[in-house]
Structure 1
C-alpha cells in the first residue's frame, strides 16, 4: 500500500471530494490541492457556503425540489400552472427544464428510477406521493419527463399502471432528433423514435 504524502486532514478532504459525482481519486487530489492553495479566495468562502447549505437548504415536501423554503419557490409561485405536473427523475433534471424555460408548470421529483439490479423498487421512489397528489383531483396533466433509458421507460410504465383509474392526462417528452443534430451522427434508437414521432410541416 502506498504511503500517504499528505497529512490526515488533507487525505480526509481528498476522500470526501472523491465521493462527489464526476470526481475520481486523481481529480479529488487536484481539487483538494487547489482548495488548500487558494485558502482565502476559495476554501474559506466555500466552507461558509457549505455550512449555510447544510443549515438552510432542504427538500420540498410537495415536489422534492431542493430549496431554502418549504414549499419551494416553484410550488409557491402563483403564476405557475399547478394543474400540469412534470415528473422528473432527479432535481438536476428539474433544474435543466427550468433553465430551458420549457413549461411554466409544477414538478414532481421521483428520486431516481426503478432498477431491480441496483435494488431500487417503488418504495424507494416518491411514486406513492405522486399518486396521492394526483388523487386530490387538482392535477389535470402529468408530463412524464424521465430519461429515455430502459429503467426510465420501465418507471414510466409502472407509473401509468399506478395512475390507472385516476382522472389525469399523461403525456411524455418527444424523443428524436435534437435541435442542431445531424442524422449521420445519431444512433439507430434515436432515429427510429424520431421517425415514429414525425409531425406535419
Structure 2
C-alpha cells in the first residue's frame, strides 16, 4: 500500500535532515500527522523564521538575528583574544561553558582538498583582515576539531598568523574526565601528554 502523496513528501523532507533514515522519517511523519494543528503551524513558522530572520554576522560569521551579533557588540568581551571555530554550533558550545570571554571567528568548515574545500571556501581571509585591523589582539586560539582536517587547518592558520607576532595557541586535547588510559587511542594519549598541565 502506498502512502498519500503529502505523507511521502513529508517523509522525503524529514530524510533531508542529517542522520534521519527512511524508518525514522516515517515515524516523524506519522507523529506530525497526530500533532495538534496549532503545534504544526508553530513548527512550520519556526522553520520559516530560521530562514528569514537569521543570517551570519559580518564580523565573526556566527549565526545571529542582529547585526553585528551580540558577542561582537559586547564591550565587556576580551578584545585581545579570538577563538577560531569550525561552525556556529561550536560557538554555542563554548558559550555554554561560560569560562571564555573573548571574541570568535567561525571558519565555516575545515580544509579538505578531497572534498574541494580550500582556503578560499573558508573565512580565512576575513580572519586575517580582522587580525590586521584589531591592534589590541594578542592571541588567536585555534579550536578546530581533533580530526586530520581540523589539525591541518590549525597548522595552516598557525603558519599564516605567527609571522604577525600574534600568539597562536591550540585547545588542549586529551583524555576525557573518567576515561581509562587503556581504552584511549594513540592520538588521544599523545594529545593528553602534550597538553599536560602542572598540578
Into which bin does the TM-score normalised by the smaller protein fall?
Answer: over 0.9
- 2:140 is aligned to 142
- 1:155 is aligned to 153
SS at match of 1:62: coil
Q: TM-score, normalised by structure 1?
A: 0.92
Q: CA deviation at 1:54?
A: 2.0
SS at match of 1:13: helix
Q: Does 1:56 align with 2:57?
A: no
Q: Give me the whole-angstrom Cα distance separating, in 1, the residues matched to 2:95 and 2:59.
A: 17
Q: Give me the whole-angstrom Cα distance separating, in 2, the residues matched to 1:41 and 1:24.
A: 27
Q: TM-score, normalised by structure 2?
A: 0.92
Q: Does 1:82 align with 2:79?
A: yes
The 5-angstrom pairing of residues 71-150 of structure 1 reads 71-136=68-133, 137-150=135-148
Q: CA deviation at 1:41?
A: 5.2
| Runs of 4+ off more than 4 Å | none
SS at match of 1:85: strand
- 1:19 is aligned to 16
SS at match of 1:86: strand
Q: Give me the whole-angstrom Cα distance separating, in 2, the residues matched to 1:158 and 1:69.
A: 31
- 2:166 is aligned to 168
The 5-angstrom pairing of residues 21-36 of structure 1 reads 21-36=18-33
Q: Does 1:67 align with 2:64?
A: yes
Q: Give me the whole-angstrom Cα distance separating, in 1, the residues matched to 2:89 and 2:19.
A: 14
Which piece of structure 1 moves more, 29-38 or 147-156? Answer: 29-38
* Deviation readout 1:143-199 (Å, 9 max, x if unpaired): 100001110011111112222421311111011111222223322221122123222
Q: CA deviation at 1:50?
A: 1.6
Count of aligned positions = 198
Alpha carbons 2:162, 2:168 under 8 Å: kept:
no
Q: Give me the whole-angstrom Cα distance separating, in 2, the residues matched to 1:120 and 1:193.
A: 26
Q: What is the root-mean-square deviation in Å for CA atoms of aligned residues?
A: 1.6
Q: Give me the whole-angstrom Cα distance separating, in 1, the residues matched to 2:52 and 2:191.
A: 45
Alpha carbons 1:113, 1:125 under 8 Å: kept:
yes
Q: CA deviation at 1:78?
A: 1.6
SS at match of 2:152: helix
SS at match of 2:23: helix
SS at match of 2:91: helix
Alpha carbons 1:35, 1:42 under 8 Å: kept:
no
Q: Give me the whole-angstrom Cα distance separating, in 2, the residues matched to 1:30 and 1:98.
A: 34
